[in-house]
Amino acid sequence: MIESVLTGRNAKLSVKITVKALISAAIVALAVLLPQLVHLAAGAQGGTQWLPMYLPVLLGGCLLGWKWGLGVGVLSPVVSFAVTSLAGNPMPAAARLPYMMAELAVFAAVSGLFSKKIVANGWMAFPAVLLAQAAGRLTFLALAAIFQGVSPLSAATVWAQIQTGLPGMVLQALVVPFLVMGLRALLVRDRD
């Protein structure tokens, strides 16, 4: 979506890259901060139930497209792990990190595939988020099934986590599209 808006304003390549890099950095920062706030308010179980890192990543995919979204999806758990490790409480846990990187990369890439369609029709944010969520969660489950012999995460454990995270998924399926549609209305209105 951002790419389309910038192209419509005849922005130079350097401006496009700068704007997308700044938005990406802000989204990654939000993906680090939001889980901390949820954990403070709802405890460790709050993260598993509300999946706070997923919201900024889905937003990033819809706004930035699949390429930049993919970067945000991969970097968000890595940066969170690095920053929280300094405090002695790494989030996500090291065993979960590769899975979360893959899952969030899929979330952002799939939602990012809809970025241009969202510019034309803001309601496309709903299928973007729903398909991204389904693809990401299936990726997580498939990877756990494939690597359960060498990983502490089994497919059964992941399935239980997916069920626990349903409230967060439903909340994000509602909140993210409306955020995207609101931002679209502001950006497209300013473009005209």
Q: What is the pLDDT of residues 159-192, one digit of tens each?
A: 999 999 999 999 999 999 999 999 999 998 754 4
Q: What is the pLDDT of residues 41-73, one digit of tens each?
A: 998 889 999 999 999 999 999 999 999 999 999
Query: What distance in Å separates the CA atoms of residue 78 and residue 31, rounded to the nearest whole number?
Result: 10
DSSP states of 98-148: HHHHHHHHHHHHHHHTTHHHHHH-GGGHHHHHHHHHHHHHHHHHHHHHHHT
Specify the fold of 2-191: Arp2/3 complex 21 kDa subunit ARPC3 (1.10.1760)
> What is residue 192's predicted lDDT score, i.e. its pLDDT?
45
Q: Which of 46, 26, 25 shows the shortest CA–CA distance to 36?
A: 46
Q: Which of 6, 144, 137, 136 shows the shortest CA–CA distance to 65?
A: 6
